[in-house]
Amino acid sequence: MRDNDFMQQWPAFRAWLQENGCQILEPTNPYEVVRFTTPDGIGIVYRKEGGRISKMTGCSQSLFWAWKEGRKFEFAMRTPREKRRDKKRDQLIQKIAKRDGWSCMFCGNTLDRETATIEHIVALASRGMEHIANMTLACEDCNKQVGHMSARQKFEHALKRRRGE
Ligand SMILES: [Zn+2]
């Protein structure tokens, strides 16, 4: 989605959020398009250089699509089960970061709790373990790029990225 497309829709989306008790906050850095409170935490929409929307965190994405599709606000909120899953994921990310540091294994970019994704070194599809020993942190872009690679290809890819190739 282009930044412009989102920004055109933002006034109507914002009105809907406010009607449902959300508060609109000021973005805290140039990569944030919008930031707002919800009953489920802070929702943030990020853009990359060039204006493309790169990430919608928290429940901002589900709320945005609920609004677009004319669904009710309540139905866009996460279920308790999803919240538990998110909490577990967040704890796991923090554990990995404590071991490896807050950076993407591939490009070396700094990550935080919102931008980090869990990368399985040996993919689950290749019988990789669902265990922290088989996990590392990656940014969303790199995670997508290496999805189909073998463990060895991933290490080679990481070395290349670090050398700037
Ligand atoms: Zn990366």
Convert the pLDDT of each residue in 59-113 to its tens digit.
Answer: 888 899 889 988 888 877 777 777 778 888 999 999 999 999 999 999 999 999 8
CB atoms under 10 Å from CB of 99, counted, come to: 12
CA distance linking residue 136 with residue 104, whole number of Å: 8
Fold of 80-163: DNA Binding (I), subunit A (1.10.30)
User: Beta strands of the chain (E only): which ranges?
Assistant: 24-25, 32-38, 41-47, 53-56, 117-120, 135-138
Q: What token pair was written down for 139?
A: 């940014």
Nearest to 107 by CA among 62, 51, 161: 161
What's the burial of 59, exposed, middle or buried (CB within 10 Å: 0-12/13-18/19+)? buried
Ligand 1 centroid vs 100 CA: distance in angstroms? 14
3-76 CATH, one of 1.10.10, 2.60.40, 3.30.310, 3.30.980: 3.30.310
Residues 96, 98, 104, 108, CA torsion sign: negative
Reported pTM:
0.57
Ligand 1 centroid vs 114 CA: distance in angstroms? 14
Per-residue pLDDT of 3-38, as tens digits, reads: 678 889 999 999 999 999 999 999 988 889 999 998
**Location of each CATH 1.10.30.50 domain in the chain:** 80-163
CA dihedral 39, 44, 45, 46 (to 10 degrees): -170
Ligand 1 centroid vs 51 CA: distance in angstroms? 19
